[in-house]
Amino acid sequence: MACHVNKGGTAVNTAPLDFSQRGFLFFYKGDAMFIIHSIVTTLVLNLYLFLDITDFGAKLLLAVLGGIYFIAFCIFPSFSGKYGGKLKILHCGNILLTVFLTTSVFSLILLIAMITASDVSAKTLIINSVIVILGELIIFWDGMIRVYCVSTQLGIKWRVLGAVFGMIPIINIILLIKIISVTGKEYRFECAAADKNTDSASLELCRTKYPILMVHGVFFRDTKLFNYWGRIPAKLEKNGAVIYYGNQQSAASVSDCAEELVKRIKEIISETGSEKVNIIAHSKGGLDARYAISRLGADKYTASLTTVNTPHRGCLFAEYLLEKVPEKIRLGIASKYNAALKKAGDTNPDFLAAVTDLTASRCSELNESCPDSENVYYQSIGSKSKKASSGQFPLNLSYRFVKYFDGENDGLVSVNSMKWGSRFVFLQPQGKRGITHGDVIDLNRQNIKGFDVREFYAGIVNGLKQKGL
């Protein structure tokens, strides 16, 4: 992953991923047997048309061979591809759906041609049509089940749309093409990522001197069921990194969360025997880490701090809301949030304290009282959304408000607020989407054109390794 860094400390990521596979249709790329599968499957499904004009021996032979091929194709649509597991299932599902779409068109054309032929009986046409429909349904559901089970990029949106509108003509074709396109792009993206991972894993590019402590942002917790950092930790560990998590409360004041982080750091040092940790902190987690380093003595145990889309200068939007929303409503919302956060695992959640510490005035106070330590290497990462629709709910709603008060932002935090330390890395991939507050930590597991978040973090951690940290 290439980033260009200037003297001002700004890095812009503009390098697209290199996809070597190019293909036959705009929505399907990559399998060399695609054309053959489409032609042969069309002939097999319409075999009854040809059986009607052949002798019994030929009929039996063609029927047996056609049946064997159809069963084999439905079970093993492709033997190509060097990756197994979910990638293999995804690839095969994509092929099945693509072949379903093309063979449906080919069969329809063949049927129309046969209807115009005077020597084909109505009985033959009806029986053949029934066979084609049953065969196409098998191919369709075989492919759809596979991609629905393993695809990450389809998300809830396209799964729901496919299920709800799947029976509506024209719309279902448009949705099918979209599903084929999404899963095909996902397969190629993940293959490219896997190739890079295979090439670099043996080099242990992410094996830093000190373990990595990943610190989450506000309103989230570290859980085993859903990793806050998406696919990033697995990538780093594959390349030699030793990963730990902050485990602080999801909603509490900066000072309270900082105390929890100090305790966590000491636990890691005791467990590993390492003298220090490298902290990578997202959003409010960056403020928590800075407070722990500057005010609570964690500087003795911290080699570096990398903040990711952290509101170092606060959010004017948050300040405006706290000022304008009536106290009764604020307390009511806080009470409901605190009750929900307790159920999620927080011991002493404080919604209002967490939000208040994100305001511009409170962050200004924190910056004055928390000077950077000379013993810690500080760097920061930032990104921005290019439009409101770039982010999922609620970022698609908050983007315009934050832009009005704070300027260019990632859906929550302004770009100017993210800059901290001796190096600032600004992510701006090609395209109209941008990178949101959630994208930058792979929260939604979405692949972004021209940007692999896993490769980016591997580069960041490798940079720490190069510095001897």
Q: Of 328, 322, 291, which is closest to residue 307 (Cα–Cα)? A: 291
DSSP 3-state percent helix, strand, coil across the chain (nearest 5): 55, 10, 35
For residues 92-111, one letter each, b for 16 or more C-beta atoms within 10 angstroms of the residue's C-beta and e for the rest, the string is bbbbbbbbbbbbbebbeebb
Task: Tell me the per-residue pLDDT of 341-395, one tens digit each, with 9 for 90 and over.
Answer: 888 888 888 888 888 899 999 999 999 999 999 999 999 999 998 888 777 777 8
> What predicted TM-score, i.e. pTM, was given to this entire model?
0.77
Beta pairing, strands 423-427 & 377-383: parallel
Find out whether 287 and 367 touch, Cβ atoms under 8 Å.
no
For 75, the token pair is: 């079970």
The candidate with the shortest Cα–Cα distance to 188, out of 17, 390, 350, 334, is: 17
Give the Cα separation of 123 and 114 in Å (integer).
Answer: 12
The Cα diameter of the chain in Å comes to 93
- Say which residue, 6 or 141, is predicted with more confidence: 141
Which pLDDT value is given to residue 62? Answer: 81
Q: Quick one: pLDDT band at residue 9, thresholds 50, 70, 90?
A: very low
Q: Which CATH superfamily groups domain 204-466? A: Alpha/Beta hydrolase fold, catalytic domain (3.40.50.1820)
Q: Which amino acid is at 454?
A: R
pLDDT exceeds 50 at position 254: yes
Q: pLDDT band at 26, cuts 50/70/90?
A: very low
Q: Which helix (H) or strand (E) holds 145?
A: helix 122-150
What does the pLDDT look like over 101-154, one tens digit per residue? 999 998 888 888 877 776 777 888 888 889 999 999 999 999 999 999 999 888
Instruction: Provide mean pLDDT across the span 431-458.
Output: 88
* DSSP state at residue 171: H
* Mean pLDDT, residues 253-273 taken together: 94
Q: pLDDT at position 231, please?
A: 92
Domain ranges of the chain: 34-194, 204-466
Per-residue CA distances from 443 to 47, 206, 208, 424 (Å): 49, 21, 24, 22
**Contacts for 310 with CB less than 8 Å, ≥ 6 apart:** 281, 282, 283, 284, 285, 286, 287, 380, 413, 417, 418, 420
Half-sphere exposure of 14 (CA within 13 A, CB side): 5
pLDDT for position 152:
87
For the sheet with 212-215, list strands across it.
3-5, 11-13, 423-427, 377-383, 302-308, 277-282, 212-215, 243-245
Helix (H) or strand (E) holding 243: strand 243-245
Q: Is 166 helix (H, G, I), strand (E, B) or coil?
A: coil
Each residue's pLDDT tens digit, 418-432: 999 999 999 987 778
According to the model, what pLDDT value does residue 462 have?
Answer: 94
Q: pLDDT at position 394, please?
A: 78
Say which residue, 33 or 234, is predicted with more confidence: 234
pLDDT value at position 19?
34
Q: What is the pLDDT of residue 28?
A: 43
Give the pLDDT mean for 5-25.
39
